Chain A
Amino acid sequence: MKPTDISAPDYFHKVVDCQWACPAHTPVPEYIRLIAEGRYSDAYMINWRSNVFPGILGRTCDRPCEPACRRGRVEETPVAICRLKRVAADFKDDVRHRMPRPGPKNGKRIALVGGGPASLAVARDLAPLGYHCTVFDSDPKAGGMMRSQIPKFRLPDAVIDEETDYILNLGIEFKGGHRVDSLKKLLAENYDAIFVGSGAPRGRELDIPGRKEAAKNIHIGIDWLSSVSFGHTEKIGKRVIVLGGGNTAMDCCRTARRLGGDEVKVVVRSGFEEMKASPWEKEDAMHEDIPILNFMVPVAFIHDNGKLTGVTFQKVKAEYDAMGRRNLIPSGEPDETIECDDVLVAVGQENAFPWIERDCGIEFDKWNMPKVDPKTFASTNPKVFFGGDAAFGPKNIIWAVAHGHDAALSIHKMISGEDINERPLPEVHVTSQKMGIHEWSYDNDISTDQRFKVPHRDKVIALKDIRAEVELGYDVKLALGEAHRCLNCDVQTVFSAPLCIECDACVDICPMDCITFTENGEEDDLRQRLNAPAPHHDQALYVQDGLKTGRIMAKDEDVCLHCGLCAERCPTGAWDMQKYLIDMTHAGSTCQSKARSAA
């Protein structure tokens, strides 16, 4: 193998699995260390810079970071990254004075359609640069689906208000209750750029017999949630069936439990394991006495002269074809009818752009989605950009934020007359953590604690009050324990071959048998010859040559604990522990010199 080029920004970035997996590339270990130090405000600001909504995401994020967390490969469970983010938000001091100020106006006007996370992220990045940002939303308050579709017992209004205000206070013009119904008209108002962050607002229908007749008691999940959120719906029947296996279905069933649903069941077509809902959301639902029935396909709504009485399901089983594709085929068991008073349909969401005229320069693809560049988020109209669910269909908040950062950069470059396809490289800082012979400026003593549970409100109380937040969040002590579980993967093992005397001290001390000195070879061959199995090809081998014996040093990054013992036991300093920080490029970072703030 060729020696690894550790100066490529992506190399060490990938080693920080959580940060690499995060669409917004939040520097996770960095803020977790600050939490451990009790510097909650600093931890919050690091998050705020990357993901814009730490308090909201700390309660609701889909957490792509956690399945990626190295800890999950070392022991059973990853670090509770998401809930630690909430800790930073919960325990911070007043941070208003640390927020950017609106920049001197540059005379450019941006229209943002939809007041959800994508638009707000764009506005957050552009307002400090002097842009005049106008956000349109049909709801009276900002937040989009974060406010309308996420139940208050998961995400209280106060948290949304606080974090949307940080952005709106940057001098953003928010036009609530103002639905944009024509892109043509908006274009005619001569904005310098338009950002479409209108989400995926249409719940998918379930067109089976009885749907029309029993319509009064069949509700589309996201519409129903939004109606509950704004106080228009306050009760539901005693027996409720929720159709669908995603996170919306989980929100529906738990909300129904609080509005009078005593017998709430979730019924899914697929198997339990393949459900789209996050495992922890399924757990929370089941904890509230909601059974999840699987391999059942709804075939008809049963009604008595228009009064819904139940749903009939066909039983299916999964079969896999030669390509490994799953097919649901009838199992041959008799159909089952489950009685109910109401049904909530949560079988997916779709985009809808009835307000975009097809002759205003925006091309649509065969799925009737606008053609959007996945890197620049530009549409085929050079002034119009898309992001969030509006760009590529339903995802989640953290993706919307990531899109927002990239779209803001494109808008800034476009208006500055630069090529939006040229994306500046992120800025990278690598700093040695050595303080003394065996002292490091990070805590390298590995905690063997298991993941700490987040305390929940008592179930009886929680089910009585739809606005009572179920999760209470970590207290300071639990947060400290959980923070210590972080392996500090951003503190990188850096090897210098010219200093190495090949004494094997690092090999002998490494608790994970990551390091091998051996003859060079092709990667597949080399992976067979390491001191411990290296089956994960997505985890890099760090290879350095130039040793006196002609061998190479090969380190499998996969399960390295970043404990620094290799560097402690190295007599010549050939190993060093160096902290890697990456500043993702946001709008404005190309033309502003940035000194990184403390931390």
Chain B
Amino acid sequence: MTYIAKPKFHHPGLPKNELGYTHRDYEGKISTLCAGCGHDSITASIIEACYELSIEPHRVAKISGIGCSSKTPDYFLGNSHGFNSVHGRMPSVLTGANLANRELIYLGVSGDGDSASIGFGQFAHSIRRGVNMTYIVENNGVYGLTKGQFSATADFGSKSKKGVTNTDNAIDLVAIALQLGATFVARSFSGDKTQLVPLIAAAIRHKGASFIDVISPCIAFNNHAGSTKSFDYVREHNDAVNRLDVLVGRDPISVDYAPGTVQVVEQHDGTRLALRKLDADYDPHDRLGAQNFLQKHAAKGQIVTGLLYVDPEADDLHAHLNTVETPLNTMDERALCPGSAALEKINASLR
């Protein structure tokens, strides 16, 4: 870790967003992770996405569990709300917070240990309920804090730093998220910010359960030959199906696309996602197709990245439950606790 604070000076020509903030204004404390950790790049990507979307920092709640990845919310959005929960319990805390106040933007930050082992059930249920959130898994395939044991996402047959071969099958969180009904599913790589930043931005603007699996090499324990989550391996086996540009508001599509290569998806809130197809046959609206595509390529040892599935008309948990729009913290006591007469009425209706 670094002992000095990151200097406050910033580049004099740094652009500002609509709110007058530079991307430096979205930073948090200096990272205490190992030098070169992929998680720090994801942190930088979240900062960049929030900056580009001109998000007011106090409108964001960042919630995490336990692990290297779950430490990272301390390193971005220093002026946002944060909750560092129990191991694997981020999805429940996030769901509760979201139910109490739907007006915040919810960022769930987790790791492969946090989400694929101890919190696997939590992960699954928050996805299937369609909680409006951006669920990011910083996936390095190992338990970094306890010195590099295989996690549940480590690929079968991959080797640990000490040369031990993994004999367990891997959990593919993307495949599970697709199966459980996530309405925005993507995979990316910490070493490819041009792909990752727009994915995070699009996920934040998506209404519904967004899930992004980000392969994030562990420099200390999982960046060797034999690893399938190393910089070199991911770069060699990365099969990006598309590239994304996020267009907010009425911005004209300023990028020149060759005709027929771009597909524009408009989300609920008017955000347009310009998808540049890299794989001509890939259709991000076909959940079944996506699942097949993913399995086929995984069998060939390829890591499929990009926006894999999006349902632009998705709804969220609040819509399913028909909850009140007002955040609970702005309701008065009478509304929150209508008294015994109201309770009697409800009870009577259930008899």
Contact = CB atoms under 8 A, between A and B. Distances in A.
Q: Do A and B come from one complex?
A: yes
B6 A572 contact: no
A508 B235 CA distance: 19
B41 A535 contact: no
B168 interface: no
A561 B38 contact: no
A548 B232 contact: yes
B77 to A, nearest CB: 15
Nearest to B223: A501
Contacts of A505: 35-37, 40-41
Most buried by A among B2, B11, B14, B217: B11
Nearest to A532: B11
Given A504-B193, A548-B232, A532 B14 contact: yes
Nearest to B34: A571
Contacts, number: 99
Interface residues of A, number: 34
A183 interface: no
B321 interface: no
Interface string B17-49: 000000010000011001111101101100000
Contacts of A507: 44
A535 B1 CA distance: 33
Contact of B44 (A73, A74, A75, A508): A508
Contact of A446 (B7, B40, B41): B7
28 contacts: A73-B12, A438-B1, A438-B3, A445-B5, A446-B4, A446-B7, A446-B9, A501-B223, A501-B232, A503-B219, A504-B40, A504-B44, A505-B37, A505-B40, A505-B41, A508-B40, A511-B7, A512-B10, A513-B11, A532-B14, A535-B13, A548-B232, A559-B12, A561-B7, A563-B4, A563-B7, A565-B2, A571-B36
Contacts of A446: 4, 7-9
B193 A513 contact: no
A448 interface: yes
A74 B4 contact: no
B36 A512 contact: no
A562 to B, nearest CB: 10
A569 B2 contact: yes
B128 to A, nearest CB: 34
Q: What is the interface residue range for chain B against chain A?
A: 35 or more
B231 interface: yes
B13 A532 contact: yes
A537 to B, nearest CB: 14
A509 B6 contact: yes
B7 A533 contact: no
B36 A501 contact: yes
- Return the 4 tightest CB-CB contacts between A and B, nearest first: A571-B36, A533-B13, A446-B7, A508-B44
Contacts of A508: 40-41, 43-44
B191 interface: yes
A533 B2 contact: no
A568 to B, nearest CB: 5
Contacts of B7: 446, 448, 511, 561, 563, 565
A598 B325 CA distance: 72
Contacts of A73: 12
Contacts of A533: 11, 13
Contacts of B40: 504-505, 508-509, 569
Interface in A534-572: 535, 548-549, 559, 561, 563, 565, 568-572
Contacts of B37: 503, 505
A502 interface: yes
Given A438-B3, A444-B4, A509-B6, A501 B231 contact: yes
A438 B24 CA distance: 23
A503 B218 CA distance: 10
Most buried by B among A438, A444, A532, A535: A532
B13 A568 contact: no
Contacts of B38: 503
B11 A504 contact: no
A504 B4 contact: no
A445 B12 contact: no
B14 A513 contact: yes
